[in-house]
Amino acid sequence: MIRILKLPYWQLAILSGVLVGLSYPPLHLGFIMWFGLIPLIHVLLNVKASQAAKFAFLASITANFISLHWIGFNSGAGFFPVFASLVGAILYLGIFWSGLGFFVSFIEERSSKGLIVLPFAWIAMELIRSLGVLGFPWINLGLTQTEYLPLVQIADITGSYGISFWIILINIGFYLAIISKDKRKYLIITSLIFVLVFGFGLIRINTIDDVKTHLVSIAITQPNINPDEKWEPESREENFALMHTMLDSALNLNPDLVLWPESAVPAYLRLSSYRRNPITAKLAKFNIPLLSGTVDRIIDKNGDKKYYNSTIFIKPDGSIKMYNKVHLVPFAEYIPLSEKFPSLKKLNFGQGNFTLGKEYTVFEFDSVRFSNIICYESSIPRIVKGFVKNGAQFITIQANDGWLGKSAGPYQHFELAKLRAIENRIFIVRCANTGISGVINPTGTVQHKIPLGKKSIITADILPAQNLTFYTKYGEVFAVLCIIISLMIFTSVWINRIK
């Protein structure tokens, strides 16, 4: 390995990018992440801050192209908008690694504390990258470890940021073992960190309360309808017929709740009694509620139409309750700032022009409370945490990853749900149009799963959560602490420089 570190710095940056990119699902190579950053760490500690920023940017665009290339497979828009979104996302995300590289190298140049600040600065970078309308926590390093459940159980305390933190520590430990004369010492320390995290995870998995009381049975419907054809006039009746047939089959399984995916049928279900009444009649016959994805439209007091990506909860008595998606995908579901500047909606990137929802809605049946997350929202920890803190005892996820075909996107999306389950110690029930649907328990274990591209209905029993985790109560306190420590180290270095 020491010979590899003698390669030109630009090659080391690309090497780290390749290793990190390959660590993400669905390649089953998450273990590469334990040493994937070593080449980049060597670069950051041995070049000037301005050079470090460039090499870190190079590493980032390499890693993100490999892990996020599936963005370019979106069939919901034309080639140019899709290609532009892929390139834009990769370049935008590279800015964060570039800033991290500059910061770590700056600290190293002036105090030789680059390795000390690196894990804290990395978490600070991940948190900052998750904020705002362009926030993208999807690629936090925690996603690379979801196949190794004992290693991710700390997330109920630290959130996924704690997973990233120990990954950086492992990389630093191996790096020091490579360059140091006392290799044995650093290998022992690194192994100890790994064993402690792994051991803690095993204990947590075996002690999570799993009392089989008050189980809720849910029927998950995966219709596997081509999203490019769903709203075509010649396909609508066929799609409705399919969903009614699947509803009949689901109701005959006698669950407590039937779950349909995002935008399950090509209609405004709240507004169309013609489409909703036959559904309600079936629900009334079996006394079972339905949660379905739908689109919705509201005309405000000024006569303007507002469209929403929504969820409709239909009870057997015909009453309904709505949830409107609170975090839309920028440039896919809306144009940022278009609420303040409506003329932006006239721009055509092939996007929808939805309006942001405002409420963290909680649904209830049989004294059980739950909330629904729509598609991309499941990648954002604070949103799921917000629903659980607001009273949800389990979370459903409605998705439509059919736009991405059989690329890596749907697989990564499913793995993200494991992290959300562990962070909040709740059951997650995922229902996707073309897959992947399934049930994940509070330890991140997948209890039921419908493969990608298959039409199926399954039922699963889940246990509503009773208690809030540390992470659910206090959120990103660990990540904020990392920001504070990073700033303290920077301040110390700056003050000593002035002296």
Ordered domains of the chain (ranges, CATH): 4-207+476-498 (no CATH), 216-468 (3.60.110.10)
Quick one: average pLDDT of 43-56?
Answer: 97
Question: CA 260 to CA 64: how far, in whole Å?
Answer: 32
Question: CA 214 to CA 365: how far, in whole Å?
Answer: 13
Using DSSP's 3-state secondary structure scheme, residue 341 falls into: coil
* Residues with Cβ within 8 Å of residue 212, at least 6 apart in sequence: 463
Global model pTM greater than 0.75: yes
Question: How buried is 31 (Cβ within 10 angstroms: 0-12 exposed, 13-18 middle, 19+ buried)?
Answer: middle
* Packed helices 160-179 and 183-207: angle between N→C axes, nearest 10 degrees: 160
| pLDDT of 355 over the 90 cut | no
pLDDT at 229: 78
Question: How buried is 340 (Cβ within 10 angstroms: 0-12 exposed, 13-18 middle, 19+ buried)?
Answer: exposed
Quick one: average pLDDT of 410-419?
Answer: 97
Task: Give residue-wise pLDDT tens across range 291-308.
Answer: 999 999 998 888 888 899
Strand boundaries in 340-445, DSSP class E = 363-365, 368-374, 394-399, 428-432, 437-440
DSSP-based helix, strand, coil % in the chain, nearest 5: 55, 15, 30
Task: Give residue-wise pLDDT tens across range 103-128.
Answer: 999 999 999 899 999 999 999 999 99
| pLDDT of 401 over the 60 cut | yes
| pLDDT of 73 over the 90 cut | no
Q: In what order do the strands lie in the sheet with 257-259?
A: 320-324, 305-314, 290-299, 257-259, 216-222, 456-462
Question: CA 444 to CA 217: how far, in whole Å?
Answer: 19
CA–CA distance from 191 to each of 173, 222, 328 (Å)?
9, 43, 42
Task: Give residue-wise pLDDT tens across range 157-216.
Answer: 999 999 999 999 999 999 999 998 888 999 999 999 999 999 999 999 998 865 566 789
Which ranges in 310-465 belong to alpha helices (H)?
A: 381-389, 408-424
**Cβ–Cβ < 8 Å for 251, 225:** no
Of 61, 22, 16, 64, the C-alpha closest to 42 is: 16
Mean of per-residue pLDDT scores for the chain? 91
Confidence at 495, pLDDT banded by 50, 70, 90: confident
pLDDT at 228: 75
| pLDDT of 476 over the 80 cut | yes
pLDDT at 64: 96
Quick one: average pLDDT of 308-328?
Answer: 95
φ/ψ (deg, to 5) at 372: -120, 140
